Amino acid sequence: MSQNPISRYFNEMYQGDAVRPPYRGLEDWSRDMPAEFRDMKQSEAEALFRRIGITFAVYGEGGSPDRLIPFDMFPRVFAADEWYRLERGIKQRARALNAFLVDVYGRGEIVKAGRIPGRLVYQNEAYETAVCGIVPPKGVYSHIVGIDLVRTGPDEFFVLEDNCRTPSGVSYMLENREIMMRMFPQLFQENRIAPVETYPGLLKRTLASVAPKKCDGEPRVVILTPGHFNSAYYEHSFLADMMGVELVEGQDLFVEGDFCWMRTTEGPKKVDVIYRRLDDPFIDPLCFRPDSMLGVPGLMNVYRSGGVSICSAPGAGVADDKAIYTYVPDMIRFYLGEEPILKNVPTWQCAKKDDCKYVLENLGELVVKEVHGSGGYGMLVGPRATQSEIELFAAKIRERPENYIAQPTLALSTCPTFVEEGIAPRHVDLRPYCLVGEQIELVPGGLTRVALTEGSLVVNSSQGGGVKDTWVMAE
């Protein structure tokens, strides 16, 4: 199953006919697998996913909220040394992003030093004036940083975007591994694969380490979910279960006497750390959106007075804004005095006149995204778009240029993937989950998303992407 050697895309397994070292343990396995066996395993995997109920809902598509995310059994593999470099780069970035957040809600040194335009920070929709002057426990705003990475060559990694609010998908990282271990135990005997199952324990330790100053004793941690209609509800309940903490909704919490309490069958219990899986505007109707039914009235007052910790801290979103993204390498130099280990993708900001002109002239080559968009919605992939789609998008950019950024179409690496005809290369990305509390932790792995359609570069699950187990080989 050799690959076309002149392909312009980096194939993570094959270099011509040669198999790259981290993938050697998969060569025989994939070559010798009979088609019937493969089909049997594939339906076994599907049955397992359905049985545990790991499904997701796609916003705006209607239909069943119980859709399965496609799982591809071909693992994606990193060598130990490749991972070591990624790990350092990811942790570096997570540190800088948090330093930036503390700074911009405090003295704003980076703006004063002229390294980032103040307009981009202070007039940003995600900037919360309500938390100015607050330094959250341990100086951490973003406790779970999801950094989306793509690869274009043996040593070429780019950060596509940062997710500082509530990155999702980690339950897939854990369940994909569970299912692979169950279906192919011999692969795990023959290869030394670093475990990811420590994640829930590390997450709980991270959350407990940022307990508020008024908390004495063992902090009580809860996960706050918008409810079971949310597309990520499965993940919320999965993490609550794995950490052994309560999964609460806004209606389960109330504020009284400078503390936050949860309603239990034995009366109120004080809550110390809230890992919230809802966005800032919904946290507290008294402080943000008055029409929100999801949050807890008065919660922000308790937060401000150190009665409860909120993870991620309100306001963290300003650091993962697509317009701010361009400046992350500068942040790393400014706060850490280090050179960035991971590269940014060159980005044109349509808000800038020259950039906008270039973008409009080269739409056919570029990927254009909304500054505040996510999930693969509202984006244009130039090389795959029709002429009329490009014209339509150009009109949108002219109307609100500040709403768009553009990047070159990256030659995303491919990983062998089981498709109808057998095994074929498909484009992949990677989202590792970095935990920031008293310490910075990164489990060796992450969520690999794969664009299952031939040639497609869009890996989002809402756009027909699938997932793979991600291996990091132990040294």
Partner 1 sequence: MLSRTAANLFWIARYIERAETNARLLEVGARNALLPNTGGGYRNEWDSVLAASGTASAFRDKYGEAVQRNIETHMFFDTDNPSSIASCITGARENGRIVRTALTGQVWDALNTAFQELQDFARTERSRLPLSDLTDWTLRTTSLIRGAGLATQLRNDGYDFTNIGHYLERADSTARLLDVKYYVLLPEVSFVGSGLDNYQWRTLLRAMSAQRAFSWVYGGEITASKMVDFFVFNPMSPRSLMSSAEGALSHLERLARSYGRSTPAQNAARALVEQLQRMTIEDVFDEGLHEFLTRIVGEVDALASVVSGTYLSGVARCD
Residues of this chain that bind partner 1 (CB under 8 A): 51-53, 228, 234, 237-238, 240-241, 246-249, 251-252, 254, 256-257, 261-268
Query: Across the chain, which distance is largest between two alpha carbons, in Å?
Result: 69
In angstroms, give the least distance from the CB of 262 to partner 1: 7
In angstroms, give the least distance from the CB of 256 to partner 1: 6
In angstroms, give the least distance from the CB of 236 to partner 1: 10
How far apart, in whole angstroms, are the C-alpha atoms of residue 377 and residue 13?
30
At position 32, the amino acid (one-letter code) is: D
Q: Which is nearer to partner 1, 157 or 234 (CB)?
A: 234
In angstroms, give the least distance from the CB of 390 to partner 1: 43
Measured in residues, the chain has a length of 475
Q: Which is nearer to partner 1, 213 or 263 (CB)?
A: 263
In angstroms, give the least distance from the CB of 270 to partner 1: 9
Q: Which is nearer to partner 1, 193 or 247 (CB)?
A: 247
How far apart, in whole angstroms, are the C-alpha atoms of residue 248 and residue 277?
10
Q: Which is nearer to partner 1, 307 or 315 (CB)?
A: 307
Q: Which is nearer to partner 1, 20 or 270 (CB)?
A: 270
How far apart, in whole angstroms, are the C-alpha atoms of residue 24 and residue 360?
45
Q: Which is nearer to partner 1, 249 or 370 (CB)?
A: 249
In angstroms, give the least distance from the CB of 187 to partner 1: 25
Q: Which is nearer to partner 1, 298 or 314 (CB)?
A: 298
In angstroms, give the least distance from the CB of 70 to partner 1: 20
How far apart, in whole angstroms, are the C-alpha atoms of residue 103 and residue 444?
30
In angstroms, give the least distance from the CB of 345 to partner 1: 38
Scan for tokens 């509800």, then name that residue: 233
Contacts for 466 with CB less than 8 Å, ≥ 6 apart:
69, 70, 71, 72, 449, 450, 452
Scan for tokens 């949050």, then name that residue: 295
Q: Which is nearer to partner 1, 219 or 445 (CB)?
A: 219
Query: What are φ and ψ of residue 336, in 5° steps?
Result: -105, -15
DSSP-assigned beta bridge partners for residue 11? 414
Q: What is the CA radius of gyration of the chain?
A: 23
Contacts for 347 with CB less than 8 Å, ≥ 6 apart:
322, 325, 326, 405, 406, 407
Which CB contacts under 8 angstroms, 24+ apart, belong to 281-285? 282/226, 282/250, 283/310, 283/314
Give the three-class secondary structure for 101.
Answer: helix
How far apart, in whole angstroms, are the C-alpha atoms of residue 300 and residue 255?
10
Q: Which is nearer to partner 1, 200 or 437 (CB)?
A: 200
Task: Show the tokens assigned to 169.
Answer: 């998908």
Q: Which is nearer to partner 1, 44 or 246 (CB)?
A: 246
331 contacts 297 by C-beta, under 8 angstroms: no
Provide the terminal-to-terminal Cα distance of the chain, rounded to the nearest Å: 28
In angstroms, give the least distance from the CB of 314 to partner 1: 24
- How many Cβ atoms sit within 10 Å of the Cβ of residue 113? 10
Q: How far is CA 20 from CA 26, 392, 474, in A?
A: 10, 43, 16
In angstroms, give the least distance from the CB of 237 to partner 1: 5
Scan for tokens 């005997």, then name that residue: 189
